[in-house]
């Protein structure tokens, strides 16, 4: 067994692990990142597309925002459609000047990986069986296997950025955890296609046949979703079936304007809300999807991972640079306070926008009444906008 030492071990090289790694390196704090899969595999995952202003600022602080500002698309609003009508939510007006940025998670991850290479910081890909140990004491360490050799890395702190299925949360004794979960009775079927987006801003559609979302990655690449049943399979959907279904769920003027074409990615994601409390166990801290999952309707998953990174980084900077553990000790409480508000918002958007078979035509009318109220009440629109652009850290 090989044995090395660093200050912070980060398990998981998704956006949260990479961003934290970058902020630590920038602050002169030694860190190692481990991931189960390869960099190419991580970059092949198609996920989030909407960045809150707070996320944009964090990427600026990390010094990895140059390409995002060059290639990303700042959006000052989005559309809601229901009952054959289309309404714009003017984020910029409703929030006194805030916007969101359209820039894919794949690109954020690529920029962070490139920076890590420039930093000469250590990432171990294809690390098998990564496992946190002794985090309830003062000498935690992580073990993993690589190419048949077992490695041990001693450290001061272990940060679990290893997503919903990772080993960090699972290493905590069950009695020390409280979990909260809601599984929704449907999924999202998403495609990527090299066609111009139907509109220059996003469109969220409520329709009796089910939810639909028109999003994008660039001015020539569209990301579209339709609500689907949980037992559906992506391979059962031809491109033509997808285009026909999404057009049925949109007002005629939008459906007619849509450019269709072959998809080059098609997958189904289940929808779930999940939170674990607390987010810290001794020297082990959970960050991002390792601690919470939201349904994608509010575009919050990646943004929450970034706000967790902000709080844990304040804690680690306090510990190493200011010799104070006040922020570190407050991590779980501060992060959870923001997490629960985003979980609430994502649940609410999901409930308002999707077809729930059990609620019938009564449920559909209630949704339409809520949407009608939402788009015509300045107070309600402001609340939606303030949450969508992201609550303050």
116 counts as binding ligand PHB under rule CB under 6 A: no
Instruction: Indicate which residue of 292, 296, 310, 311 is catalytic.
Output: 296
**Could you tell me where the beta strands, DSSP code E, fall in 76-163?**
78-82, 85-89, 100-102, 122-124, 128-133, 141-146, 149-154, 157-160
Query: Rule CB under 6 A: is residue 206 a binding residue for ligand PHB?
Result: no
Q: Which residue is nearest to ligand PHB (CB)?
A: 49
Among 9, 112, 130, 203, binds ligand RFL (CB under 6 A): 130
Q: How many residues bind ligand RFL (CB under 6 A)?
A: 34
* Tokens 């995952």 belong to residue: 45
Q: Please give the torsion angle defined by the CA atoms of residues 129, 306, 343 and 356, in that order, rounded to the nearest 10 degrees.
A: -80
Partner interacting with residue 297 (select from ligand RFL, ligand PHB, none; CB below 5-8 Å by kind): ligand PHB
Question: Is residue 295 a contact residue for ligand RFL (CB under 6 A)?
Answer: no
CB 207 within 8 A of CB 249: yes
Q: Clarify whether 75 is annotated catalytic.
A: yes
269 binds ligand RFL (CB under 6 A): yes
Q: Is 166 in the site for ligand PHB (CB under 6 A)?
A: no
**DSSP letters spanning 151-181:** EEEE-SEEEE--TTTSHHHHTS-GGG-EEEE
Q: What angle is formed at CA 295 by the lines to CA 272 and CA 197, rounded to 5 degrees?
A: 145
- β-strands 157-160, 8-11: how paired? parallel
Given the residues 103, 141, 204, 320, the one annotated as active site: 204
Q: Is 81 helix (H, G, I), strand (E, B) or coil?
A: strand
**DSSP tag of 389:** H
Site for ligand PHB in 221-250 (CB under 6 A): 223
Query: Within 13 Å of residue 325, how many CA atoms lie on the same side as its CB?
Result: 4
Binding mask 300-319 for ligand RFL (x = CB under 6 A): xxx--x--------------
Query: From the CB of 38, what's the least distance to ligand PHB, in Å?
Result: 23
Site for ligand PHB in 278-297 (CB under 6 A): 296-297
Q: By CB under 6 A, name the binding residues for ligand RFL.
A: 11-17, 34-37, 42, 47-49, 105, 127, 130, 161-167, 269, 288-289, 296, 299-302, 305
Catalytic site positions: 75, 204, 296, 300, 388
């Amino acid at each position: 067994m090989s044995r090395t030492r660093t200050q912070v071990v980060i398990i998981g090289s998704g956006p949260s692990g990479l961003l934290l790694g970058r902020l630590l390196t920038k602050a002169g704090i030694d860190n190692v990142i481990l991931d189960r899969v390869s960099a190419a595999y991580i970059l092949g995952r198609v996920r989030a597309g909407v960045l809150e202003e707070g996320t944009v600022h964090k990427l600026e602080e990390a010094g990895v925002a140059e390409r995002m500002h060059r290639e990303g698309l700042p959006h000052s609003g989005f559309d809601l459609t229901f009952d054959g009508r289309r309404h714009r939510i003017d984020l910029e007006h409703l929030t006194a000047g805030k916007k969101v940025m359209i820039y894919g998670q794949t690109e954020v991850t690529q920029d962070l990986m490139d920076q890590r290479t420039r930093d000469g910081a250590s990432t171990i890909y294809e690390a098998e069986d990564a496992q946190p140990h002794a985090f309830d004491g003062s000498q935690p360490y992580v073990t993993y296997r690589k190419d048949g050799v077992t490695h041990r890395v001693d450290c001061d702190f272990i940060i679990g950025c290893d997503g919903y299925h990772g080993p960090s949360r699972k290493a905590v004794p069950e009695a020390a955890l409280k979990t909260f979960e809601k599984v929704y009775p449907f999924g999202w079927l998403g495609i990527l296609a090299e066609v111009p987006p139907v509109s220059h801003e996003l469109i969220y559609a409520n329709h009796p046949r089910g939810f639909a979302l028109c999003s994008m990655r660039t001015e020539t690449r569209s990301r579209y979703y339709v609500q689907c049943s949980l037992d559906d399979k992506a391979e059962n959907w031809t491109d033509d079936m997808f285009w026909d279904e999404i057009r049925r769920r949109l007002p005629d003027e939008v459906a007619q304007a849509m450019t269709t074409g072959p998809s080059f990615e098609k997958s189904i994601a289940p929808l779930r809300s999940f939170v674990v409390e607390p987010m810290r166990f001794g020297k082990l801290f959970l960050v991002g999807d390792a601690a919470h999952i939201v349904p994608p309707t509010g575009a919050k998953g990646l943004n929450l991972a970034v706000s967790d990174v902000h709080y844990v980084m304040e804690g680690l900077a306090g510990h190493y640079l200011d010799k104070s553990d006040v922020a570190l000790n407050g991590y779980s409480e501060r992060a959870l306070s923001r997490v629960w508000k985003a979980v609430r918002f994502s649940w609410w958007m999901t409930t308002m926008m999707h077809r729930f078979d059990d609620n019938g035509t009564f449920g559909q009318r209630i949704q339409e009444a809520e949407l009608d109220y939402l788009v015509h009440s300045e107070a309600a629109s402001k609340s939606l906008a303030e949450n969508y652009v992201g609550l303050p850290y």
